[in-house]
Amino acid sequence: MLIKPYSRRINYYETDMMSIVHHSNYIRFFEEARCDFMEQIGCDVRALEDKGVSIAVVDAYAKYIVPLKFDDKVYITTKLTKMSAAKMEFEYEIRFADSDILATVGKTSHCCVNRSNKPMPIKKADANLYETLQNLI
């Protein structure tokens, strides 16, 4: 399955006093790209949550290589790199759309949890999603 990169433009409000993207926004960019990834593979995150299943962020990491600025056009590639019964890990690359220069790399780890925030096997939450994710590794 081919996952298309997620494209976006940097908004003015995402920048700080140094006119670069504030570091907290990179985690948001990763989340936007991850939600787009999930949509592309046919996962309805809202439907999962309606069933009482959440995909909680366990940790997040970003390495800033080249700063992003207002009006930059970028694309974010998202790759599922690890998966166990209830956990999954994604890696991200943010690149400038006009030059393909790498701006940021990152990683997030997630755990599938129930309404009580207890780990829940992904296969139990959604067997089709589990199979799809397995095929992407």
CATH number, domain containing residue 53: 3.10.129.10
- 85 lies in some domain: yes
**Which whole number is the average pLDDT over 93-111?**
98
Q: Which residues span the domain enclosing 106?
A: 6-136
Residue 47 confidence (pLDDT): 87
Catalytic residue among 16, 44, 71, 126: 16
**Which whole number is the average pLDDT over 105-132?**
92
- 65 lies in some domain: yes
- 57 lies in some domain: yes
Residue 127 confidence (pLDDT): 85
Residue 125 confidence (pLDDT): 84
CA-to-CA distance for 63 and 41, rounded, in angstroms? 27
**pTM score, two decimals?**
0.91
Q: Give the residue from 95, 92, 105 showing the smallest Cα distance to 72.
A: 95
- 1 lies in some domain: no
**Which whole number is the average pLDDT over 111-128?**
90
Q: What is the pLDDT of residues 40-84, one digit of tens each?
A: 999 888 888 998 999 999 999 999 999 999 999 999 999 999 999
CA-to-CA distance for 100 and 108, rounded, in angstroms? 22
Tell me how many domains the chain contains. 1
50 as an active site residue: the answer is no
- 88 lies in some domain: yes
Q: Which of 3-12, 42-51, 82-91 shows the lowest mean pLDDT across its residues?
A: 42-51
